[in-house]
Amino acid sequence: WVFCLIFNTLRLRRRLAARLRLFGEVSDRVGAQELDFTVPHAGIREYDQALDAMEHMREALYSSLSSQWAAQQEREAEIAALAHDLKTPLTLIGGNAELLLDENLPENCHRMVKTIVSNSDRAKRYVASLLETSSGTDETFENTALPAMFDELCLSANALAQASGVFLHSQNSLEGSARIQKDHLLRALGNVVQNAIEHTPEGGSVYLEGCMLANGWQITVRDEGPGFSRAALHHATERLWRDDTARSSDGHNGLGLWFAAQVLTTHSGQLELKNCESGGMAVIKFRRNL
């Protein structure tokens, strides 16, 4: 009798352990969001009741995620269609501006038309980047001359500064080249410079400097605005953060510095926000050999 009791106890233990493993397997698949399956039964009433509850949970989660996936696919399709449609007006703007360059225009008008052409080309590159992102591709890293990249940044920033009545002072001490996603990085750096220009009062100055470091290179943007609040120094690079009272972002969605921080992370860069005597300062550092 003792032998039979021990034998049956061990047999029952193995059977219960095998059935309990079902819970672990189901939990692992649900945790990994592998939801296209049916929860099996254990053949034990109490276990089956618990497994039925897990089956209801799986079905509800599967339905919820399917709806979210469908909505996301629809949004991505709409964004792709909108980005594609934007190419036509941008092409018309750029084409007509290029025709104006052939006219005998005053020097200041000629300069403004050139600004329209360059920024139209820049917007078309952004649209192309948006289309690549919506299709699941991304810009490749290519070896790019740093001085030329900085000059291109200054060219677009200077147009924005003139439109805002702000003076842009630049110093380009960059040397050599680095492997970067040029368009992405120019957009990110442009957001930082734009933030400085927008928070500098009319007649003030923004200082843009590029220099080499012992182990990399650096770009510094300094403005003559009110500076960053204590909260902004900690949260300005967070997505949709707009609660900075010192540097109000009316008309913006709190995405500029967030996007810049994301791009800098992919380039092994660091963005540091701080205040100086004249206003706010953004220091962007990159390591050599990206």
Q: How does pLDDT run across 129-143, given as a tens digit for each residue?
A: 776 666 656 678 999
Phi, psi of 233 (to 5 degrees): -60, -25
Distances (CA, A) of 227 to 20, 30, 106, 232: 60, 48, 38, 9
The residues pairing with 179 across neighbouring beta strands, listed in sequence order, are 143
Pairs from 245-248 (Cβ < 8 Å, separation ≥ 24) = 247/195, 247/199, 247/280
- Domain made up of 142-287: CATH architecture: 2-Layer Sandwich (3.30)
Whether the predicted pLDDT of 90 surpasses 80: yes
- Cβ partners under 8 Å of residue 131, min gap 6: 80, 83, 84
Whether 133 and 142 have beta carbons less than 8 Å apart is answered as: no
- Rounded to two decimals, the pTM is 0.62
The structural domains of the chain, with segments of one domain joined by +, span 2-68, 79-134, 142-287
Q: Give residue 70's pLDDT.
A: 81
The residue with greater pLDDT, 169 or 240, is 169
Task: Please write the tens of the pLDDT for every residue from 36-88.
Answer: 788 888 777 887 888 888 888 888 888 888 888 887 777 777 777 777 778 77
Tokens representing 137? 């591709």
- CB contact at 8 A, 217 and 178: yes
